[in-house]
Structure 1
Amino acid sequence: MHYELEGKVALITGGAGGIGAATCRIMAESGARIVVADIATDRAEAVAADLRASGHEAIALTLDLGSEDSIRAMYRATEARYGRLDIVDNNAALLTADQAQRDGDIEHMRTDDWDAAFAVNTRGTMISCREALRLMTPARRGVIINTASNLALQGNVIQAAYSASKAAVIQMTRAIATSHGKLGIRCNAVLPGLTGTPSALAHLPAELRETVEEETLTPGLGAPEDIAHLVAFLASDAARYITGQAMAADGGTSVHVPGYARLNRFFNGVAA
């Protein structure tokens, strides 16, 4: 699928991960020049090298979203290389296994773990948006897409810090869309559900995966490409009238009544 991004410069943070790498590839195939930014420098270089081997233009940059200096250096390097910036996909987040294991309910939340989630997911994304806007505003054009989460819309027994930090990203998205829309800059948020990335599939307990799949309205979990296609569409001029939106891509898990899976089995005899 082609999204008419010829000649545009697209910066994807977390570009070495499952969703990020898929987004880099789909945008490159649509004609964009790609900046793959990730804390995992070697993996970012590998993604960029694969794109170049396929005839696309791509560079890799190191990014630590918890460091303001690192974020600003990423934007300076992008501007020095291309002299412009058209698209930013703020996809990077704090998703380490250790952090996820400690991110439970509020009663048992360690203050350091709460602060870490907000330092990267919210503060880091804010700084990235700010630096992007400083490049986009003089040109009076640009698109920013922030990755939030469907957990930002729902209560959960775990991941209280992650969910709250991503809810703040949604509100930040609305603020940017409102303050900079008349300057030609659009800003939207994408809210993935549990997505079948290699990392998620490797570390997710089978029982938890089965529970999520039961509550998913589509036949199975989404793939990284399902999220990447939405990001690429929002980045394109085909979405020029869409801004300030929080768009879930979660197989419908955030829209149904509680207990959907059991209700479905009871009324329809469906093996969910």
Structure 2
Amino acid sequence: MSYSLDGKVTIVTGGAGGIGSEVCRIMGKHGARIVVADLNHDAARALADELGNQAIAIELDLASEDSIAAMIATTLDHFGRLDVIDNNAALLTAEMARRDGDIEHMATDDWDATYRVNTRGTMIACREALKVMTPQGSGCIINTASNLALQGNLIQAAYSSSKAAVIQMTRSIATSHGKRGIRANAVLPGLTGTAAALSYLPGELRETVEEETLTPYLGTPADIAHLVAFLASDEARYITGQAFAADGGTSVHIPGFARLSRFFQS
């Protein structure tokens, strides 16, 4: 099935990152006008230059309410409207990933920092986008959560719970604003082969995840970006309030799949 995003003004937060940059490229190929919003302004500008006249770059600090408001205002000043926001930015640095363990050993500052960006920042971005989309009578919000929000884990208690909150926030928006022409969905990536993710993931842990993935490969940023682009299109107009796990089936099987599967291999 083909679909079009012709003329749809789209903000992608974390737009210069591994998944975000691919979302920008693929949505751009389908005709969207792109706002590349990222804390790394140089990388955002480089991507906007690559995309050409259909894109602009904005420096965004998702922990700052003023920065989020400025992102929306700049988008309206340049493009005159806002049709889609893909809230993809998150606090997931290598250093934070190392510190984000279990609750017993959780530093309060790390917990607060994670929620300030992942949950509070996403909420503010949604709120400010809704202030534009509601008078228009149309709009699409896509929030990036994580398959880690679906089950318990030995580590990443702050990250996973912050993303679980994002899923519920998405359902709330779909419920409160659906009759006003606004759709909201969440995308839940599994381990995705971005340079950042692979840089801090120990090789043995990566092998374990690969074993528990039902597909014979890990996902790529393009796998996530294609889903985001479709959900932003009018062809997905009847889809709202949903949480789509794009994780190669990691989240659907019983524990111990990798070990059990060895008994059934020929």
TM-score by length of 2: 0.98
Please report how far the alpha carbon of residue 98 of structure 1 lies from its aligned counterpart in structure 2 after TM superposition: 1.3
Superimposed CA distance per residue, residues 152-180 of structure 1 (whole angstroms, 9 cap, x where no aligned partner) = 00100000000000000000000000000
The answer on 1:34 being equivalent to 2:31 is no
Identify which of 152, 155, 165 aligns with 2:152: 155
Please report how far the alpha carbon of residue 201 of structure 1 lies from its aligned counterpart in structure 2 after TM superposition: 1.9
1:177-256 matches, within 5 Å, as 177-256=174-253
Superimposed CA distance per residue, residues 252-271 of structure 1 (whole angstroms, 9 cap, x where no aligned partner) = 000000000000012225xx
Listed as ranges, the gaps of 5+ residues in structure 2 are none
The answer on 1:131 being equivalent to 2:128 is yes
Q: Letter of the 2:149 partner, please give it.
A: A
The answer on 1:143 being equivalent to 2:156 is no
- Paired with 2:127 and 2:241, the residues of 1 have a C-alpha distance of 16
> Which secondary structure does the structure 1 equivalent of 2:104 belong to?
coil
Superimposed CA distance per residue, residues 225-251 of structure 1 (whole angstroms, 9 cap, x where no aligned partner) = 000000000000111000000000000
Contact 1:13–1:20 (Cα < 8 Å) also in 2? yes
In structure 2, the residue matched to 1:108 is: 105
In structure 1, the residue matched to 2:16 is: 16
- Paired with 2:18 and 2:241, the residues of 1 have a C-alpha distance of 25
Identity of aligned residues (%): 74
- Paired with 2:3 and 2:63, the residues of 1 have a C-alpha distance of 31
- Paired with 2:60 and 2:114, the residues of 1 have a C-alpha distance of 16
Please report how far the alpha carbon of residue 2 of structure 1 lies from its aligned counterpart in structure 2 after TM superposition: 5.1
Superimposed CA distance per residue, residues 11-31 of structure 1 (whole angstroms, 9 cap, x where no aligned partner) = 000000010000000000000
- Paired with 1:14 and 1:76, the residues of 2 have a C-alpha distance of 18
- Paired with 1:78 and 1:263, the residues of 2 have a C-alpha distance of 51
Identify which of 117, 120, 123 aligns with 1:120: 117
In structure 2, the residue matched to 1:257 is: 254
Contact 1:188–1:246 (Cα < 8 Å) also in 2? yes
Aligned residues: CA RMSD: 0.9
1:35-114 matches, within 5 Å, as 35-52=35-52, 57-114=54-111
Contact 1:2–1:30 (Cα < 8 Å) also in 2? no
> Which secondary structure does the structure 1 equivalent of 2:105 belong to?
coil
- Paired with 1:38 and 1:4, the residues of 2 have a C-alpha distance of 25
Contact 1:149–1:166 (Cα < 8 Å) also in 2? yes
Please report how far the alpha carbon of residue 203 of structure 1 lies from its aligned counterpart in structure 2 after TM superposition: 2.3
- Paired with 1:103 and 1:167, the residues of 2 have a C-alpha distance of 16
- Paired with 2:146 and 2:218, the residues of 1 have a C-alpha distance of 15
Listed as ranges, the gaps of 5+ residues in structure 1 are none
> Which secondary structure does the structure 2 equivalent of 1:107 belong to?
helix
Q: Letter of the 1:216 partner, please give it.
A: T
- Paired with 2:56 and 2:160, the residues of 1 have a C-alpha distance of 32
Moved over 4 A (4+): none
